[in-house]
Amino acid sequence: MSSVRALLVIGTLAIASAGCSRPVYTPEVAGVVASRQELADGSFQIVLENGRSQNVETHRQRIIVGGGVPDLGELPLAGSSPTPWVARLAPRFDCFWIGGSGSEEGGYVTTDGGLRLPESADFERGPYGADEHEFHGGGFCVNGSGEVTAVK
Alpha-carbon distance values, 93 to 10, 39, 90 (Å): 46, 32, 10
Q: What is the pLDDT of residues 26-81, one digit of tens each?
A: 999 999 999 999 999 989 999 999 999 998 887 788 888 888 889 999 999 999 99
Cα dist from 73 to 21, 33, 35, 65, 149, whole Å = 33, 5, 9, 16, 18
Q: Which amino acid is at 93?
A: F
Q: Is residue 14 part of a domain?
A: no
Domain count, the chain: 1
pTM exceeds 0.85, yes or no: no
Q: Per the domain annotation, does 1 fall within a domain?
A: no
Neighbours of 123 (CB within 10 A): 18
Asked if residue 59 is part of any domain, the answer here is: yes
In a domain, 70, yes or no: yes
Confidence of residue 86 (pLDDT cuts 50, 70, 90): very high
Q: Is residue 17 part of a domain?
A: no
Residue 40 lies in a domain: yes
Mean pLDDT estimate for the chain:
87
Smallest Cα–Cα separation from 88: which of 40, 142, 38, 17?
142
The answer to whether residue 12 sits within a structural domain is no
In a domain, 133, yes or no: yes
User: What is residue 7's predicted lDDT score, i.e. its pLDDT?
Assistant: 38
Domain of 85, in residue numbers: 29-151
